[in-house]
Amino acid sequence: MNVMTPSMLDQRAYSDAAKQFLSRAPRLFINNEFVSSSHDATIAVEDPSSGREIARIVDASDADVNRAVAAARRAFDDGRWSGLPPMVRDRTINRLADLLEAHADEFAELEAIDNGKPKGMAAAVDIPGAVSQLRFMAGWSAKVAGETTQPYTIPNGTVFSYTVKEPVGVCAQIVPWNFPLLMACLKIAPALAAGCTLVLKPAEQTSLTALRLADLIVEAGFPAGVINIITGNGHTAGDRMVKHPDVDKVAFTGSTEIGKLINRNATATLKRVTLELGGKSPVVVMPDVDVAEAAPGAAGAIFFNAGQVCVAGSRLYAHRSVFDQLLEGIAATAPFWAPRPSLDPEAHMGAIVSKEQHDKVLGYIEAGKRDGASVVMGGDAPSSNGGYFVNPTVLVNVNPQMSVVREEIFGPVVVAQRFDDLDEVAKAANDTCFGLGAGIWTKDVSTMHKLAAKIKSGTVWGNCHAVIDTALPFGGYKESGLGREQGRAGIEAYLETKTVIIKM
Ligand code: NAI
Ligand code: MG
């Protein structure tokens, strides 16, 4: 007899708040109102833990994008935001942070059912991260300032010269699906503090938390048109945003391929561009480490968020003397990282965001095997009722020519290699077109500093990985990006400098 039993990998029931939100009609957020699209095109929203469609969102038309940009343009040009006392901007942004905190549990659930990540991870990382982006940047509202400067070639007292910092204008902000709300807040916070207005486009796979944020934007008291939220596909709505003549700046996080395309498209009107792109970040483990610490560290570097992290430690270089021990230690973390549905309170790793991404990750594993790599952990998908799960995977016997070593997989897959000395591993770590992050594990301070200096990447971590803080600049060397976000550099990216010289 065939008895239907719930699979261990079945998604749990949603809360009433989530169900109510999911029952809303597809709408865009323009001028502080939820409005219909100019056409009927919509995109399915899936829960990656079940593969089921749970709602639909608007696939914005060119006319929708034009309407949103026009709203942002008007709101910028009449100074309804940039002209406010900086203290009011600071307090409004902080009010949004307060509201987000008050609704943290609901946002964590929505993120979990939209992205597939464990609700516990969203509650511990994504939501507080989004709040801290808003709070830290809010404080810059009143603290950006120009300088009074004595000219070099002009006699003293004959001119008065100073610089002022002005908001760059209307910003098009396009974010990916791996940390949807966190990325959205990371983008809007500095723009708002600087006095810019904006159109935000979340990824078509994960637009729910941005749409829910729109409610809080109205409640926080932002003037209409300052923040507009458009949902839709990248090659249509995103492309229109990037090419729109009334947009002054484009900020993008996503794939290197699309980042390069956006940079080219923004050139026509020389828009300001910041890009946070892909990575293939090395994790280097020196022979002196305590393997009991380094092994879970290296595992977390790749398995956190199912490897869907731009700085995922996807290339592991372990010194020959600790290689075997380290791999045993990583394999021992398998039960902890075993994929589970996102609303399972035991989950540390959830589902992959989409079927497309799930198949891409499994395709890389197959390509690795065909090229001669061996699987020492995972390497497959657990059987499930339609969820997009991939088991945490370690590949060995790899070489630098293989696609699994060269390309960003964006899944829970790490390639592990042995090395013998520092120069050799520095060279291997830098043998990539990317340069986003790198992890070094050692107790030797001078080794740490020597290697940190040799590695070409925007961030280097010592005895930890993927630690990101809103006060610390973040960005890529080489093909991992353009410019920096967060910290002082983050607000500067939304400011122009005007020099004023007055003859006295
Ligand atoms: P993607 O780069 O295509 O999408 C990211 C965002 O860009 C989305 O909001 C999308 O709608 C938008 N977009 C796409 N095409 C556009 C265009 N022509 N003009 C303007 N906006 C556009 O990334 P995708 O396709 O979701 O994932 C592909 C790969 O990219 C992943 O497998 C992963 O390797 C990498 N990726 C890297 C991320 C990172 O944080 N560095 C985040 C997401 C993906
Ligand atoms: Mg794409």
Q: Is 408 in the pocket of ligand 1 (CB under 6 A)?
A: yes
CB proximity list for 196: less than 8 A, separation 6 or greater? 76, 81, 82, 167, 168, 169, 170, 171, 249, 494
The model's pLDDT over 43-60, given as tens digits with 9 standing for 90+, comes to 999 999 999 999 999 999
Distance in Å, CA 254 to ligand 1 centroid: 4
Spatial CA neighbour of 272 closest among 289, 294, 247 = 247
Indicate the SS3 state at residue 356: helix
Give the position, in ligand 1's atom list, of the atom nearest the Cα of 241: 20
pLDDT score, position 229: 99
Mean pLDDT to the nearest integer, 331-339: 98
pLDDT score, position 163: 98
CA distances from 48 to 212, 348, 356, 386 (A): 19, 15, 11, 8
Q: Is 255 in the pocket of ligand 1 (CB under 6 A)?
A: yes
pLDDT at 4 over 60: no
- Taking each helix axis as running N to C, give the angle between helix 180-194 and helix 127-138, from 0 to 180 degrees, rounded to the nearest 10: 10
Mean pLDDT to the nearest integer, 110-125: 98
Q: Is 97 in the pocket of ligand 1 (CB under 6 A)?
A: no
pLDDT score, position 2: 46
pLDDT score, position 458: 98
Backbone angles phi, psi at 484, to 5 degrees: -130, 145
CA distances from 389 to 51, 126, 169, 375, 384 (A): 10, 20, 42, 17, 8
Distance in Å, CA 358 to ligand 2 centroid: 14
Backbone angles phi, psi at 492, to 5 degrees: -60, -30
pLDDT score, position 336: 98
Quick one: which ligand is closest to 234's CA? 1
The model's pLDDT over 446-456, given as tens digits with 9 standing for 90+, comes to 999 999 999 99
pLDDT score, position 230: 98
Q: Is 178 in the pocket of ligand 1 (CB under 6 A)?
A: yes
The residues with which 254 forms a beta bridge, in sequence order, are none
List the catalytic residues.
276, 310
**Average pLDDT score over the chain:** 97
What is the sign, positive or negative, of the torsion defined by CA atoms of 471, 476, 480, 482? positive
Distance in Å, CA 496 to ligand 1 centroid: 28
pLDDT score, position 8: 81
- Taking each helix axis as running N to C, give the angle between helix 86-102 and helix 127-138, from 0 to 180 degrees, rounded to the nearest 10: 170
Query: Which residue's entry shows tokens 């300088």?
Result: 147
Using alpha carbons only, how large is the chain's radius of gyration in Å? 24
Give the position, in ligand 1's atom list, of the atom nearest the Cα of 177: 43
The model's pLDDT over 357-416, given as tens digits with 9 standing for 90+, comes to 999 999 999 999 999 999 999 999 999 889 999 999 999 999 999 999 999 999 999 999
pLDDT score, position 6: 64
Distance CA 252, CA 434 (A): 17
pLDDT score, position 1: 42
Distance CA 174, CA 235 (A): 12
pLDDT score, position 385: 87
Mean pLDDT to the nearest integer, 339-364: 98
Label residue 225 left, alpha or beta by phi (over 0 means left) and psi (-120 to 50 means alpha). left
pLDDT at 220 over 80: yes
pLDDT at 329 over 90: yes
Rounded to 10 degrees, the C-alpha dihedral 61/63/69/71 comes to -120
For atom 29 of ligand 1, which residue has the closest CA? 255
Mean pLDDT to the nearest integer, 305-318: 98
Spatial CA neighbour of 178 closest among 306, 321, 40, 20 = 306
